[in-house]
């Protein structure tokens, strides 16, 4: 059953908006139950209220507002809804979110809280990626593991760090599920692409027979990049070249012979319209460049 349409006007008070929505939900067979602490104690309570209801045995969160969506209010509502979803009572399938607003809802909210499987992926990825703010390169393996989990749970795609068809799995997710049809205009699954970018990077680290680490470089900001270096006789067999360089400082350059590559930028390019074979072709090109620049295992 579709949620009823409700016309809210910019001049409506929050109480008038609540009443309009409540009447429409009741006519559809549901009852609004308020999140009292959110609707009375939080700073958003003067212009935005939160409710829950059940229609056709599915739980829903209902957001009602008649005010403009300013950046501060968007961020506040985003965090509130993420916390409600994280600890929803009663437990069960993630509740769907419905917005009733006198003004167009911010695309980021519709992207994170839409009904599609891709939106479900994005809403869970944002909890760890947080739009790429203050990313720590030492989290790369964790973020890649999150992508593996969400691919399976949200999209039914199974892969792992050692999957020889890993590029194809990521391409399948982006080209099949993360199309423009899955999101509102101006909405983009930034967090999903970020975790998939780290997954692709960790797949490369597991596959290419070179020492590697994640590094911060200005020309690749705001994302960390991968640095591949030659193996020496003293190197072990783990293909790990030191630990990830993290923190606020970004070196201007790396002096030792290395190949620098940005997995996140590559996955973003695929999302933005590169052909499905783009990751496979890029991996082959990267392997060739590493061989030419760093030498093959037989030469080290």
Task: Break the chain into its structural domains and give their ranges.
Answer: 14-105, 129-299
d(CA 11, CA 221): 44
d(CA 245, CA 249): 9
pLDDT confidence bin for 125, thresholds 50/70/90? very high
d(CA 90, CA 9): 33
Exposed e or buried b for every residue in 4-27, given b needs 16+ CB within 10 A? bebebeeebebeebbebbbebbee
- 212: buried, middle or exposed (CB in 10 Å: 19+, 13-18, 0-12)? buried
- Taking residues 177-192, what's their average pLDDT? 83
Nearest of 83, 75, 81, 121 to residue 98 by alpha carbon: 81
Using one digit for the tens of pLDDT, what is the confidence trace for 262-293? 999 999 999 999 999 999 999 999 999 999 99
Residues 20, 101: contact at Cβ < 8 Å? no
At 100 the pLDDT is: 96
DSSP letters of 153-175? HHH-----TT-TTHHHHHHHIII
pLDDT beyond 90 at 169: yes
At 55 the pLDDT is: 75
Helix (H) or strand (E) holding 55: strand 48-55
What predicted TM-score, i.e. pTM, was given to this entire model?
A: 0.85
């Amino acid at each position: 059953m579709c949620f009823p349409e409700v016309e809210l006007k910019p001049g409506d008070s929050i109480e008038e908006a609540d009443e309009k929505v409540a009447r429409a939900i009741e006519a559809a067979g549901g009852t609004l139950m308020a999140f009292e602490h959110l609707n009375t104690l939080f700073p958003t309570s003067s212009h935005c209220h939160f409710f829950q209801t059940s229609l056709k045995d599915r739980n829903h969160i209902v957001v009602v507002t008649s005010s403009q969506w300013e950046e501060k209010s968007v961020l506040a509502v985003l965090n509130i809804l993420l916390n409600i979803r994280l600890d929803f009572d009663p437990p069960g399938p993630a509740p769907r979110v419905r917005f009733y607003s006198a003004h167009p809802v911010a695309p980021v909210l519709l992207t994170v809280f839409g009904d599609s499987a891709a939106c479900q992926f994005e809403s869970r990825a944002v909890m760890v990626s947080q739009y790429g703010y203050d990313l720590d390169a030492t989290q790369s393996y964790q973020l890649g593991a999150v992508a593996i989990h969400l691919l399976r749970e949200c999209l039914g795609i199974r892969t792992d760090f050692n999957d020889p068809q890993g590029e194809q799995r990521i391409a399948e997710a982006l080209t099949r599920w993360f199309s423009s049809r899955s999101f509102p205009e101006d909405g983009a699954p930034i967090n999903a692409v970020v975790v998939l970018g780290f997954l692709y990077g960790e797949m490369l680290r597991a596959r290419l027979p070179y020492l590697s680490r994640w590094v911060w470089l200005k020309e690749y900001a705001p994302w960390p990049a991968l640095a591949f270096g030659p193996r020496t006789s003293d190197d072990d067999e783990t293909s790990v070249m030191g630990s990830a360089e993290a923190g606020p400082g970004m070196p201007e350059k790396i002096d030792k012979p290395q190949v620098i590559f940005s997995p996140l930028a590559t996955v973003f390019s695929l999302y933005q319209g590169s052909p499905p074979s783009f990751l496979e072709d890029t991996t082959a090109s990267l392997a060739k460049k590493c061989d030419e620049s760093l030498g093959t295992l037989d030469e080290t």
